[in-house]
Amino acid sequence: MNKPRVSIIGSGISGLIAASTAAQNGCEVDVFEKNAEPGGRIRAMHYHGFTFDMGPSWYWMPDIIEDHFKKFGHTTSDFYELVQLDPSYSVFWKDEPPLRVPADLTGMYDWMEAKEPGSSRKLERFLDQARMKYEVGMWDLAQKPMQKPIDYMDFSLVGKAFRMDLFKSMHRHITQYFKDPHIISLLSFPVLFLGGTARQIPALYSLMNYADLKLGTWYPMGGMVKLTEAWHQIATELGVRFHFDEEIREIHVNDDRVKALKTSKKYFPTEALIATGDYHHVEQELLPSYYRHYSESYWQKRTMSPSSLLFYIGVNTKVPGLTHHNLFFDEDLDRHSYSIYTEPEWPRKPLFYVCCPSKTDDSVAPDGFENLFVLIPIAPDLDETPEIHEYYFDLIMQRMEKRLNFNIRPHVLFKKSFGVQDFKRAYNSFKGNAYGLANTLNQTAGLKPAMCPKNIDNMVYAGQLTVPGPGIPPSLISGRMAADLLTKQIA
């Protein structure tokens, strides 16, 4: 019997695991990627001995990632060496020395007690509740496609919903435990990955604090691109075919079924489709209008996560004072958030993040040199120019140099920026967003765009704009769920 022929749009992490899962489920799989290499946002750029991770740089929830490798008879150690960072990251405040967040909670308790007596016992209670949210949220609810009433069964239990703190903000939840502004700021930080402020994000997401402080911050030696290389190898060994530099131009649908894809090179018949590229682009630009699940006005009303202005910087010396991950919280978070979510504009005094993987990994920079990745969260869809990029490069360099008491700019060998228009060009990203939809209450779980379009019987969406959401572990879950859903539909 012939194998069902499944096509996949996009080779980001959700596309790679969707392809691997569909092949494991007995399908013949073709992946179409507009760029020249796999990985989507998880790809690398090389320059004279430097290897820059271009997208995600935080490796959290190692248990979720490991579990997906096990489903294919592998472990992460088959592909890369995983090391735990200690300190997990550094936080640079305006009014005191930087905090080196220890991997050992004992060190965190000592720091907190010095800031707010009794806070260590409160943190134990806070993290115990966060553990429950993590176990239920990531190992139960996040693994449901939210397509049928049975998928909402846990949410129908009012007591459980309140225990998950769906209707309370992270800010309110944290301030019920702690009063010190530095502790509050530290515990609020993980929601920056979720596309909102602690006042907007449901307290359900304190599960991120558990991932941060209990499960730890990790790094795959060689860079985050090792994840892409691993899943590309697994998919290829399962017989998946990849078509690079081949962008999808049209999806042909007939009798409520996808029949073929028109690419930049050919017409490709198919029996089923998993779309892991940008949901808005696929739906609004590639599908016939009748088969669009949502209107353009629906999309315009969505609250998007921030975009980012990124800088990849090669430095011909070591930079003292930095650790692998560094958060510069030396300006007002609320003011920066206002410029992203309330009155979108370029921030005057932005907070920013600096990754220096060469502190951990000698392979990502020449000997004695430093590899820097700098990220400034900004509102999506902002107008930008090379002059604006240069202005912000100088601004953050001034701040870094002041806080580190070290002149970096004379040592810069290589610098490349990546902004809103680059996110659109490289990934067809809606409004140039970096992290998908903001995880506000009305965009959580089943309130995200549906995985299964209502008028097409053999198509499923996956990736950061649908269930369960943005980030590497959720994208892995999304790709696997999408492939399982589709292969059941076409069986």
Domain boundaries, given as residue ranges, for the chain? 5-43+62-71+224-301+438-490, 104-215
Residue 435 and residue 425: Cα distance in Å, rounded? 16
Q: What is the pLDDT of residue 1?
A: 59
pLDDT tens digit sequence for 314-327 = 999 999 999 999 99
Amino acid at 219: Y
Cis peptide before 87 (omega within 30 of 0): yes
Comparing C-alpha atoms, which of 118, 164, 117 is closest to residue 140? 164
* pLDDT at residue 335 greater than cutoff 80: yes
Share of the chain above pLDDT 70, in %: 96
Predicted TM-score (pTM) above 0.85: yes
| pLDDT bracket for residue 151 (50, 70, 90) | low
Q: What is the pLDDT of residue 157?
A: 46
Q: Are 325 and 88 in contact (CB under 8 A)?
A: yes
* pLDDT at residue 195 greater than cutoff 80: no
Q: What is the pLDDT of residue 150?
A: 52
**Mean pLDDT calculated for residue range 437-450:** 87
Residue 128 and residue 214: Cα distance in Å, rounded? 10
* pLDDT at residue 256 greater than cutoff 80: yes
pLDDT tens digit sequence for 362-405 = 999 999 999 999 999 999 999 999 999 999 999 999 999 999 99
**Mean pLDDT calculated for residue range 143-166:** 63
Residue 196 and residue 193: Cα distance in Å, rounded? 8
Q: What is the pLDDT of residue 143?
A: 87
* pLDDT at residue 220 greater than cutoff 80: yes
Q: What is the pLDDT of residue 442?
A: 85
* pLDDT at residue 446 greater than cutoff 90: no
Residue 39 and residue 24: Cα distance in Å, rounded? 20
| pLDDT bracket for residue 113 (50, 70, 90) | very high
**Mean pLDDT calculated for residue range 414-443:** 95
Homologous superfamily of domain range 5-43+62-71+224-301+438-490: FAD/NAD(P)-binding domain (3.50.50.60)
* pLDDT at residue 280 greater than cutoff 90: yes
Q: Which two tokens stand for residue 390?
A: 């240069």
